Structure 1
């Protein structure tokens, strides 16, 4: 703990990840973010700084280590179709980080359209997951040959996905049940038919997580999983006891214990986090019963600067249960408070967890209540919740956001006269539609990188969406661009721009391939002459997100100033 060796130090790049290849060798990645293109470089180096090597990847990425103590890693090569320059399939290699020799991890002609590879704890390929034209097909690799196991429609909500195979050949996978939440079951290796009883099931939440194995013995120790927050359920008695002792010392935080060679390690790495505390890292020595601090993320954050965070559910206007996270402003108080309704992107994603949230705490530290609804269409809360959002842009999905706002007002949390709506990407779309549809609720809006014309998503050739996504995914999730074109147009913010009169901050990026700047320009033109309270920001070198520190500082400083001007004070006569 007294001697350190610097293995990587760059003036113009960030080290973005580090992992062990074996006990003597490390893999690390660097990135220079330009627009939506990561200038990612991968290096391998011995722990004493010797035998450093830059790994030449091309259209490939490192998935992880072989886990067998060798200097090999697993490399996934993307096979590009040269039509829309997206990846139609992939191939898996084992790559030696000492000399870059590689060999394919399977032989012969592989199945088409491989998206995911399932590698067992023993470091060999077990299954592949293929997706094409809305159909998911799973093949098994055994006895040096491929066999088709199962096939199902990706949008029916019934299916199974293997996630790991242990040293004894036991297969574990995520099982989808029509209308319900997913759970982990043990699967039959040949048919993937699930056992009747789930291995891991979390009421009200889809399974999101992974099993934890001992790095040396490959014994299953437990499962890391997400409900409203992350936690670990240990099946190994020794790890149950270690977790108990750590939690006893750190009762106010979620404490993730990591150990690698867990049965023999003299110390355990602990990652400690809460809604009010960014990640801290400590070492736990069970012999001395002591915790030693290693360091923390955002060490200058003080507890009095941040607010507490809660998870709840409320009934939408049609009776659907909607999960929601609420972050109270720093300093607390009973309320009602000026509020920010923060809408997540995706929209087919999980928006939040209970742990530390930088964006929510940015607002809370300035005295705002933050409301984050997991509106229908969000994932992680069951297939029925996800499917309820299909083709509901600007409709039921948008009503959920309004219902969350009214719920917070009814709870006495939010001041009905001082509420702003904010979000990025799909969240930016929801900001614009919220201002147009619910002017009685939202006094102002902050949107960045937001969709303004839904039809662009189908016909804009420079977007990073693949042809398959445009042809098979978006028509199911958003709407058919031919038969439902009029609906898509009517639910686009550019079509209702004349209804947006509140103060609005818009920000777009010149290198965004997910939501190109044409979206922002279209709305900016449509709203010109209708609303003179629009502030426009443009960052030429950014992509779909703010990756450069000067841009982040500039954007959030402007957001703070915008809210000071438009949300803090008493509404003027006639204002919403």
Structure 2
């Protein structure tokens, strides 16, 4: 896992990390771009992350970017992400992906984008906004219809939640253009959606709306829904099914390893 630094298209300095598969040359690799959740006041840091290590073990380079809005770089950096869902925050991820390609790290024909919560939104928005850049997308417990955030979910139910949504995401009337479920016809690559029926932060209705829009647009989409899970899958059996499906999905587009069951009964990338 190595730190990286690059310039965004508006000259803002961006920081993040690339994790390389053990023993790789670090060049021309199948790559997963993995935007973090939050998004505001949250950051990726150097250290162990189970998803990242699993993907690296499966043969992927993993790119994590602290796009504008992330913590760790001062208040101005956080506020630079205000009302930039699908706009400059998304452009940062695009610029970082292109940087990884230009550096020779990422094989331009083998790049997917995968994230959870806000990261799920950014993944689906990424393939809608940049249809030629990624070969697939995964959205895990994500939000995909931004106007719905004004009416559903636990953020708007809080005392200052509606104000927060207006200040940091935007007024309801202007959010359709940056809602991936409303521009699904722009998506040209396979999508995998996973969500929990008891999720209050990102209600499962977001994933079902996204699925419906993708199917209407003729986009290949796979889903994994658990009625009893919330904002993330926590039961061992559900996690095993999810990660097995995830690795299989990514492998079909990028060629990485899939999950096999070891003699000890736990999944490992082989």
TM over 0.5: yes
Q: Does residue 418 of the first structure (1) align with residue 110 of the second (2)?
A: yes
Q: Does residue 514 of the first structure (1) align with residue 201 of the second (2)?
A: yes
* Counterpart secondary structure, 1:501: coil
Q: Does residue 470 of the first structure (1) align with residue 157 of the second (2)?
A: no
Q: Does residue 493 of the first structure (1) align with residue 185 of the second (2)?
A: no
* Counterpart secondary structure, 2:209: helix
Match for 2:248 among 543, 561, 566? 561
Unaligned runs of 5+ in 2: 257-270
How many residue pairs get aligned? The number is 256
Match for 2:62 among 370, 378, 381? 370
- Is contact 1:501–1:530 with CA below 8 Å preserved after alignment? no
- Is contact 1:500–1:531 with CA below 8 Å preserved after alignment? no
Structure with the largest fraction of strand: 1
RCO (CA 8 Å, sep 6+): is it higher in 1 or 2? Answer: 2
The aligned counterpart of 1:385 is: 77
Q: Deviations for 1:23-78, whole angstroms, at most 9, x for unmatched residues?
A: xxxxxxxxxxxxxxxxxxxxxxxxxxxxxxxxxxxxxxxxxxxxxxxxxxxxxxxx
Aligned equivalents of 1:532, 1:408: Cα separation in 2: 27
Q: Does residue 310 of the first structure (1) align with residue 6 of the second (2)?
A: no
Aligned equivalents of 1:518, 1:428: Cα separation in 2: 14
- CA 407–465 in structure 1, closer or farther in 2 if over 3 Å, else same: same
TM-score, normalising length: structure 1: 0.43
Q: Does residue 549 of the first structure (1) align with residue 240 of the second (2)?
A: no
- CA 411–474 in structure 1, closer or farther in 2 if over 3 Å, else same: same
Q: Deviations for 1:351-371, whole angstroms, at most 9, x for unmatched residues?
A: 321111111111000000000
Aligned equivalents of 1:539, 1:330: Cα separation in 2: 34
- Is contact 1:465–1:514 with CA below 8 Å preserved after alignment? no
Unaligned runs of 5+ in 1: 1-308, 570-576
* Counterpart secondary structure, 2:67: coil
Q: Deviations for 1:132-171, whole angstroms, at most 9, x for unmatched residues?
A: xxxxxxxxxxxxxxxxxxxxxxxxxxxxxxxxxxxxxxxx
Q: CA deviation at 1:524?
A: 1.4
Match for 2:140 among 440, 444, 448? 448
The aligned counterpart of 1:22 is: none
Q: CA deviation at 1:568?
A: 1.6
Name which one, 1 or 2, has greater alpha-carbon Rg: 1
Q: Deviations for 1:282-301, whole angstroms, at most 9, x for unmatched residues?
A: xxxxxxxxxxxxxxxxxxxx
* Counterpart secondary structure, 2:77: helix
Aligned equivalents of 2:219, 2:79: Cα separation in 1: 39
Aligned equivalents of 1:530, 1:423: Cα separation in 2: 22
- Computed over aligned residues only, the root mean square deviation of the Cα atoms, in angstroms, reads 1.4
Aligned equivalents of 2:160, 2:57: Cα separation in 1: 39
Q: Does residue 533 of the first structure (1) align with residue 225 of the second (2)?
A: no
Aligned equivalents of 2:161, 2:177: Cα separation in 1: 19
* Counterpart secondary structure, 2:188: coil
Match for 1:357 among 35, 43, 49? 49
